[in-house]
Amino acid sequence: MNPTITSAVLPEDALEAFAGAVRDAVAARYPQAEAANVAFEAPRRPEFGDFATNVAFSLAKVARRSPNDVAAGIIADLEASAPNVTALFASIEAVAGFINLRLAPVVWQSLVARIVRDGASFGRRDGDSPRISLEFGSANPTGPLVVVQGRALAIGDTLARAFRYCGYGVFVEWIINDAGSQVETLARSLYARYCQNFDASYPFPEDGYPGDYLLPIAQTIVERDGEKWRDASESEWLPYFGQFGRDTIVAEQRASATRFGVQYDLWQSEKELRASGRMDEDLAKLAQMGLIYESDGAKFFRTSEFGDDKDRVIIRRDGSPTYFAPDIAYHYEKLSRADRVIDILGPDHHGYIGRLKAAAAAMGFPGHLEIMISQLVSLMRGGETVSSSKRAGNIITLDDIIDEVGVDAARFFFVMLATDSPLTFDLQLATEQSNENPVYYVQYGHARIASVLKNADASDVEAAHAVPSLAALAAPAELALARRLAELPKVVRGVVDHLAPHRLAKYARDVASDFHQFYSECRILVDDRETRLARLALCIAAKTVLAEVLDLVGVSAPESM
RNA sequence: GCGCCCGUAGCUCAGCUGGAUAGAGCGCUGCCCUCCGAAGGCAGAGGUCAGGGGUUCGAAUCCCUUCGGGCGCGCCA
């Protein structure tokens, strides 16, 4: 074996060296062609190797030869011009115009060594830029978090973790919609519950918030203040009940988010945003730019000049601001302190995207605001549809879901599908500890590795951690697992670049699958010490990557189950 | 009516911004525990990628169009 390549050559190094050598070879052979763009992809079929590149296709025209001839010519050139590069590959073949590459086992062995050495920081980048502002889950402070917010929380928090892994500075925030008429409605509903405590016939407001969740809050007021508010005038009790209800419910929402594993950096009150004067300042600035005009006694923002369907009212005829006004101020603030601002909105906010993006553009940040819509979630239990209606008062809360299926299953299921496709969540399936349940499949993989490491001699495990010679790793299942583990950084980067957290769920299943296959084909605790230590090291690497992926989606990685 | 998303195996869904014989899980049929966790592995059956046109060496992927679904179009938030 070539001694120069036994010292840590990682897959990406090998590919980069190969790409460079190909560019040189192409430049020498086809000087009339543009500089070759050498990109690699992972072929679907294992017999096509670890990686493939399609450079030959774009050269075929210039070369006036078939792609396969071009590919074969390039390979022949490389053998002569860059033997130190071709030595990194077990095979380099021209097939149907592609150049198929199989890395030398030693490269995969270096990668396993790298993961064992780096541990949880494998592939992770330090840093805090660019700065990302992520807002998700935000709700009216009028009731508990429900299922659709659960999905937004799972998606948003997974994205936040992925961004951090990639070295971005992430700021996670929530806006409390506490400035509109809904707080008044909350106050009336809560007051009715309070009065019903003394007089069951007290009427509940028609547009009030039903459901049982206001009962304990009313009870708290009863216990503290007794009948004090029964004869008070509305101007007295309304602000009190509004504030108390709002504060209590926001605290409960925070508790639910925390229980779900989601930590926020900022809970921004919309009411506070108005009171601070920032909103008025920003609106004045827009007016100065000539972007605000009066019509019908109301004030309009010329969002249509920035791509929106039509202009939007920001100050009503009665002088009060619409919801859009403080949101402009909030987004202006976010855009000022972050390089990218990402909102995850609910499925009923399609119509809001245009005006928000227009506002961002008008304020001098075109293209800095990205909006994701997290689609509907419908609940099933077994084959039955579970109905949840806010109006009917039989809402199913995020806490209900956590109680029934646990945080792990809930987070995995919420993140499993592409964000823009509707999700059917089967509660029964999520609780089943069976092979129908993808969460357990992945967690089982992790627990199984932990079990093997427990069965092994402690001294062997220690030796494996110290990264022994891994030359024994050569079986297809071993190399396939190593190749899969190597993908982690690339997968996370894809999650971030495409705002597609569901790829992590898919990747987690792939890693588990490759491990299980390795496990059934290669016995780990064999007599031969070198093989045993090498396989233990591979187990440690697989466990590291599985734990990392599970952590990115906020799911625990159990040592046993 | 206008705008956004979607249509892939019996079911639920992937398909890495255009690549090779379209994949996975579940379900179905059959195998595999004297041995590290069978919550596992292997094999098989199952497809006109909604239909039609176009772009090019090459399309599930990009463009046009028809059909079929979901959602959004307040001086609500």
Per-residue CA distances from A485 to A52, A163, A482, A540 (Å): 18, 19, 5, 11
SS3 readout for A38-74: CCEECCCCHHHCCEEECHHHHHHHHHCCCHHHHHHHH
Identify whether residues A542 and A442 lie together within a single domain: yes
Report the nearest residue to nucleotide B11, CA vs C1'. A383
Identify whether residues A196 and A97 lie together within a single domain: no
Nearest C-alpha neighbor of A413 from the set A134, A174, A147? A147
Å separating the CA of residue A424 from the C1' of nucleotide B55: 37
- As a whole number of angstroms, the distance between CA A559 and CA A546 comes to 12
Q: What angle do the packed helices A214-225 and A234-259 form, to 10 degrees?
A: 130
- As a whole number of angstroms, the distance between CA A398 and CA A262 comes to 13
DSSP state string for A135-194: EE----TTS--BHHHHHHHHHHHHHHHHHHHTT-EEEEEEEE--SSHHHHHHHHHHHHHH
Which nucleotide lies at the shortest CA–C1' distance from A140?
B77
Please report whether residue A207 resides in a domain: yes
Å separating the CA of residue A483 from the C1' of nucleotide B23: 18
Nearest C-alpha neighbor of A272 from the set A393, A173, A177, A367? A177
Please report whether residue A259 resides in a domain: no
CATH of the domain at A48: 3.30.1360.70
Which nucleotide lies at the shortest CA–C1' distance from A520?
B41
pLDDT at A7: 59
pLDDT in tens, A181-219: 889 999 999 999 999 999 999 999 988 998 889 999 999
- Measured in degrees and rounded to the nearest 5, phi and psi for residue A171 equal -120, 120
pLDDT in tens, A230-282: 999 999 999 999 999 999 999 999 999 999 999 999 999 999 988 999 999 99
Identify whether residues A439 and A526 lie together within a single domain: yes
Tokens 């078939």 sit at which residue? Answer: A66
Nearest C-alpha neighbor of A209 from the set A301, A275, A141? A141
pLDDT at A179: 86
pLDDT at A457: 96
Is the CB of residue A521 inside 7 Å of nucleic acid strand B? yes
**Strands across the sheet containing A312-315:** A292-295, A298-301, A312-315
Task: Provide the token pair at A370.
Answer: 């990205």
- As a whole number of angstroms, the distance between CA A56 and CA A26 comes to 10
Is the CB of residue A182 inside 7 Å of nucleic acid strand B? yes
Identify whether residues A546 and A444 lie together within a single domain: yes
Which nucleotide lies at the shortest CA–C1' distance from A299?
B75
Per-residue CA distances from A85 to A18, A51, A81 (Å): 6, 15, 9
Please report whether residue A53 resides in a domain: yes
Nearest C-alpha neighbor of A146 from the set A209, A234, A81, A224? A209
Contacts of A300 (CB under 8 A, 6+ apart): A292, A293, A294, A311, A312, A313, A314
Is the CB of residue A32 inside 7 Å of nucleic acid strand B? no
Is the CB of residue A524 inside 7 Å of nucleic acid strand B? yes
Which nucleotide lies at the shortest CA–C1' distance from A322?
B75
Nearest C-alpha neighbor of A490 from the set A547, A549, A442? A549
- As a whole number of angstroms, the distance between CA A329 and CA A439 comes to 41
Which nucleotide lies at the shortest CA–C1' distance from A177?
B77
Gap between the terminal Cα atoms of chain A: 43
HSE of A490 in the Cβ direction (CA atoms, 13 Å)? Answer: 10
Report the nearest residue to nucleotide B70, CA vs C1'. A422
pLDDT at A389: 65
Domain boundary among A205, A229, A246: A246
Please report whether residue A426 resides in a domain: no
Is the CB of residue A98 inside 7 Å of nucleic acid strand B? yes
**Strands across the sheet containing A89-95:** A40-41, A51-53, A98-103, A89-95
Å separating the CA of residue A53 from the C1' of nucleotide B50: 33
Q: What is the Cα Rg of chain A in Å?
A: 29
Q: What amino acid occupies position A66?
A: S
Element of type H or E holding A266: strand A266-269
pLDDT at A74: 95
pLDDT at A392: 62
pLDDT in tens, A412-453: 999 998 888 888 888 888 877 666 678 999 999 999 999 999
For residues A21 and A83, is the Cβ–Cβ distance under 8 A? Answer: no
Residues 60-89 of A with CB under 7 A from strand B: 61, 67
For residues A91 and A78, is the Cβ–Cβ distance under 8 A? Answer: no
Beta-carbon neighbour count of residue A385 at 10 Å?
Answer: 10
Å separating the CA of residue A376 from the C1' of nucleotide B70: 9
Residues 408-427 of A with CB under 7 A from strand B: 417-418, 420-424
Please report whether residue A277 resides in a domain: no
Å separating the CA of residue A424 from the C1' of nucleotide B66: 30
Is the CB of residue A304 inside 7 Å of nucleic acid strand B? no
For residues A38 and A54, is the Cβ–Cβ distance under 8 A? Answer: no
Identify whether residues A75 and A185 lie together within a single domain: no
CATH of the domain at A523: 1.10.730.10
Domain boundary among A246, A267, A292: A246
Nearest C-alpha neighbor of A38 from the set A23, A17, A48? A23
Identify whether residues A99 and A185 lie together within a single domain: no
- As a whole number of angstroms, the distance between CA A277 and CA A190 comes to 30
Please report whether residue A25 resides in a domain: yes
Q: What angle do the packed helices A398-416 and A438-455 form, to 10 degrees?
A: 80
Å separating the CA of residue A191 from the C1' of nucleotide B11: 48
Per-residue CA distances from A534 to A108, A465, A523, A538 (Å): 12, 10, 12, 6
Please report whether residue A342 resides in a domain: no
pLDDT at A5: 44
Is the CB of residue A431 inside 7 Å of nucleic acid strand B? no
Identify whether residues A441 and A545 lie together within a single domain: yes
Å separating the CA of residue A71 from the C1' of nucleotide B37: 47
**Residues linked to residue A377 through DSSP beta bridges, in sequence order:** A423
Domain boundary among A246, A276, A300: A246
Which nucleotide lies at the shortest CA–C1' distance from A320?
B75
Torsion region of A177: left, alpha or beta (phi above 0 gives left; psi -120 to 50 gives alpha): beta
- As a whole number of angstroms, the distance between CA A125 and CA A164 comes to 8
Is the CB of residue A561 inside 7 Å of nucleic acid strand B? yes
For chain A, what is the largest distance between any 2 Cα atoms, rounded to a whole number of angstroms? Answer: 97
Please report whether residue A324 resides in a domain: no
pLDDT at A435: 60
Q: For chain A, which ranges sit under pLDDT 50?
A: 1-6
Nearest C-alpha neighbor of A117 from the set A449, A466, A534? A466
Å separating the CA of residue A153 from the C1' of nucleotide B11: 28
- Per 3-state DSSP, chain A is made up of helix, strand and coil in percentages (nearest 5) of 55, 15, 30
Is the CB of residue A297 inside 7 Å of nucleic acid strand B? yes
Total domains in chain A come to: 3
Structural domain span for residue A216: 181-246
Is the CB of residue A246 inside 7 Å of nucleic acid strand B? no
Identify whether residues A525 and A439 lie together within a single domain: yes
Residues 195-234 of A with CB under 7 A from strand B: none
